[in-house]
Amino acid sequence: MTQRKYFGTDGIRGTVGNPPITADFVLKLGWAIGRVLQNDSGKNKVLIGKDTRISGYMFESALQAGLSAAGMNVGLLGPMPTPAIAYLTRTFHAQAGIVISASHNPFPDNGIKFFSNEGKKFPDEVELAIEAQIEKPMETVSPEKLGRAERIDDAPGRYIEFCKSTIPYEVDLKGLKIVVDCAHGATYHIAPEVFRELGAEVESIGAQPNGLNINSGYGATHLDALQNAVAYQNADLGIALDGDGDRVIMVDNQGEIVDGDELLFIIAQSRHNEGSLKGQVVGTLMSNLGLEQALETKGISLTRAKVGDRYVLEAMQEKNAILGGESSGHIICLDRTTTGDGIITALQVLTVSRQTGLPLHVLKSGMKKCPQRMINVPITPGIDVTNLPSIQKAVSEAEATLADQGRVLLRPSGTEPLIRVMVEGFDKQQVDTIAQQLADVVKAEIGDNGTK
């Protein structure tokens, strides 16, 4: 595959003000997208949505200007969850949807990601064509061909109705008290309304964005606030979304965290019982062994993809699967929508609870998580120590010790100069010991090979 200069596994992301996350680059990026997508059909329209970061205003304007210069019309959605933009791109028959967001990252970061007219991630060839266009001089179309822009004011209502449509009509949430944590992000004006309109009593937290507080102390990566709120409100459960709304982690009425692996199990078991689960379930290399074993007891196979929702979706399409996800809470229900969606995932879990009459605490008990230990070992960028004979030998010995009662994984981080040493099994003490031993071998080899 051709090496990308700007695109990562999920669009383009970085710290605001540092290339390529600058206003001038995003202006050029908008123009390049417009040039690549423009056709003679007369449907030259692109939707732009964003999360609640203060830098979103700047990048929204830059993208709009670049697209207009290329002759593309623009629909401005304002703050909207990432999955909402995927849905609205389809329903408006737009050429593409653009999301200005850095997901669960803190506010100094931002990024640009894209959906095709089918509400799916851009294919590789389109990303490569955009990168090639960026390298060309920017040329503005003649004045009569400039693109127009309009605000789409009813976008939140459209998406709220879509979310509600993903569960059976007869299912409602009356009698449930729910705390919804919006991470001061893009779901702040969406998620509480979805659950309220379905009949739940909703207390919202993390729903007062100010441009600087997205993902700060709230949301799917900071669960203390939700756990405390569930206890204080004596709620039935809590729902934590991340800054752009594509991830969800839940908290049961005991204050216990229900992560993505457990949510995936609850939905998969329900789909299986009703006969609607097609093919396998897709997880990742980091999915807990307990998920694999719990699914196996139901006669369901788990396929493991590389870490990242892009790879999960690719494996789902390859295996003709309808359900996949990550322990981080990024769950994809292809029988409901085209991408990971935190609100829709939560609704699927709540539907199972209402239909079975079982609380979340009981539903998750069908899966027993195995103890898992991960140790990050810093390395020099570009060095791959996993192929060294001494490390391969240590891994083989660890796997032999665990036999079929555990897993060992050494994985270079995709975002930091680290080797992630992960061990899981049924004996916590054994898992901790083996993980530390492997990490020590990696550290020793780094020294012996002069890589630090």
pLDDT tens-digit map of 336-358: 999 999 999 999 999 999 999 99
* HSE value, Cβ hemisphere, 13 Å, CA-based, for 212: 0
pLDDT for 29: 98
Q: Is 103 a catalytic residue?
A: yes
Which pTM value belongs to this model?
Answer: 0.92
pLDDT for 66: 98
pLDDT tens-digit map of 18-30: 999 999 999 999 9
Distance between CA 244 and CA 249 in Å, rounded?
A: 14
Q: How confident is the model over 226-231, as a mean pLDDT?
A: 98
| Three-state secondary structure call for residue 281 | strand
Structure tokens at 390: 């001494």
Q: Which of 178, 182, 184, 170 is nearest to 196 (CA)?
A: 178
pLDDT tens-digit map of 288-322: 999 999 999 999 999 999 988 889 999 999 999 99
Q: Which of 68, 103, 270, 328 is catalytic?
A: 103
- Percentage of the chain modeled with pLDDT above 70: 96
Residue 315 near residue 324 (C-beta atoms within 8 A): yes
Q: Which domains does the chain have, with CATH numbers?
A: 12-155 (3.40.120.10), 163-255 (3.40.120.10), 258-366 (3.40.120.10), 372-448 (3.30.310.50)
Please determine, for residue 451, whether its predicted confidence score (pLDDT) is greater than 50.
no
Distance between CA 239 and CA 178 in Å, rounded?
A: 7
Distance between CA 240 and CA 223 in Å, rounded?
A: 7
Strand partners, 66: none
Strand partners, 171: none
